[in-house]
Amino acid sequence: MNERLATARSFLFVPGHRPDRFAKAEASGADVVVLDLEDAVGAGHKATARGHVRDWLAAGHPAVVRINAPGTPWFEADIAAVGAAAVMVPKAEDAPGLTEVARSLPAGTALIPLLESAAGIVGAAAVCAVPGVVRAAFGSVDLAAQLGVDHASHTALRYARSAVVLAAAATGCPAPIDGVTTALDDSAILDADLAEAVTLGFSAKLCLHPRQIAAVHQGFSPSEEDVRWARAILAAAGDGSVSVHEGQMIDRPVVLRAQRLLARAGEHQPISDGD
């Protein structure tokens, strides 16, 4: 599951109190299904949702579970229900708090901290460094609400997004997961959000509906032009010495970018951080 979480491009939320949608989500083509016990489930449906999620996991279906945040009335029961499933932790703000969550779960449980508050953005590097964290996710809607800005504004949230990308890179985590696009019927908005995410260094996205998945996969996959460029760079690099290809100097950082592009395209090139 850790490898799957590290390389996934799409994470599809499904309300935990809607078991009729679980199989549909699993068959949707999403890389990862996220069974949601938090925002998508009202207080009166929490226990029912928890039972449905527990049953689905017990039947052997792989999924991430977004639990309710520590300090809520539902946190402890959520923890007891998830078993060994990977857990998305909302309102992740500091290393001690996330460490306590990890200690409440079975050893080795994969964690996806959801950075969706000002404190979470400021403490992003420390959160990403907590043992068990596989990948971080950005919560654009909650953060925007706290800041009093439009969650759809790229400009307003660009610093926060970049902070999450930098925190992930600084701690050796895979590139993070971008927040949701709430406009479900406007493909132009989704495409623009994907372009912004790719530009800033994200490599996956939280999805609210199966119809978003195809665009998300395309958005986070290298173009044919990028793949051709990467192959040419690696071919020209030869033994690793500095060289020139079509007027471009090829040194180690350029080679690393080419290797990563081909890895994203499914051409698994060895990525070396050595000299």
CATH of the domain at 42: 3.20.20.60
For residue range 79-117, what is the model confidence (pLDDT) as tens digits?
A: 999 998 999 999 999 999 999 999 999 999 999 999 999
Of 2 and 12, the structure prediction assigns the larger pLDDT to 12
Whether residue 155 is found in the same domain as residue 41:
yes
Whether residue 190 is found in the same domain as residue 241:
no
Range of the domain at 60: 2-219
Binding residues for substrate: 66, 116
- Whether 273 maps to a domain, the answer reads no
- Whether 271 maps to a domain, the answer reads no
Neighbours of 212 (CB within 10 A): 25
Write phi, then psi, for 148 (nearest 5 degrees): 75, 35
Binding residues for Mg(2+): 116, 142
Whether residue 193 is found in the same domain as residue 259:
no
Whether residue 148 is found in the same domain as residue 202:
yes
Band (pLDDT 50/70/90 cuts) for residue 274 is: very low
- Whether 269 maps to a domain, the answer reads no
Number of domains into which the chain is organized: 2
pLDDT at 241: 58
Whether residue 155 is found in the same domain as residue 229:
no
Binding residues: 66, 116, 142
